[in-house]
Amino acid sequence: MARTEKEKMLAGNELFDVYDAELVAERAAARQQLEAFNALGETDPQRSQQLIRQLFGATGDAVSVHATFRCDYGYNIYVGDDFFANYDCVMLDVAHIRIGKHCLLGPKVQLYSVNHPAEPKLRRNGAMGIGKPITLGDDVWVGGGAIICPGVTLGNNVIVGVGSVVTKSFGDNVVIAGSPARIIETLDPKL
């Protein structure tokens, strides 16, 4: 039996049609929820948190996301306890984005779990996508303006420097920075 475009998208690492009617409708529904969330701004924190909890696939306790926030679907975003995303964050959640406990995202952080094929005919008009999940461990702090690319996994207790572009995965207890990001310091795991 042929798989739907959504099934291909969720499986990851498989080309799918970005303009599939089901996916277009789901993105439109997420945008409506986001418009309601972003319109609230700081005026009703309780309602804002309720909207984020409805949008995301799963949340822990004490989740705080500042407007404006953007994502594709929302249901592919999973955050743990004590999560904070500052102003103007973007999470392109074609594939799963999993974020552990006690994580901080600075302003304008971007998490991209979608890529496009290298072949020009397949990527014209953005018609074909490939999902690659992103995973951030516990106690990760991503500095403002940093970009996390498709397929990246960061371990526990990782700090990402302001404006960094993270193109590959890193283990626990490191500070990474630059474009592309590289290890600039090792952290003491006992602290």
- Which of the residues are catalytic? 116
From residue 179, alpha-carbon distances to 87, 102, 134, 143, 156 in Å are 22, 25, 18, 13, 21
Angle, vertex CA 132, rays to CA 134 and CA 182, nearest 5: 55
Bridge partner list, 99: 79, 136
Q: What is the dihedral of CA 113, 39, 83, 105, to 10 degrees?
A: 60
SS3 track for 94-137: CCCEEECCCCEECCCCEEECEECCCCHHHHHHHCEEEECCEEEC
Residues 6+ apart with CB under 8 A from 50: none
Return the DSSP state at 66.
P
CA distance 26 to 6: 10
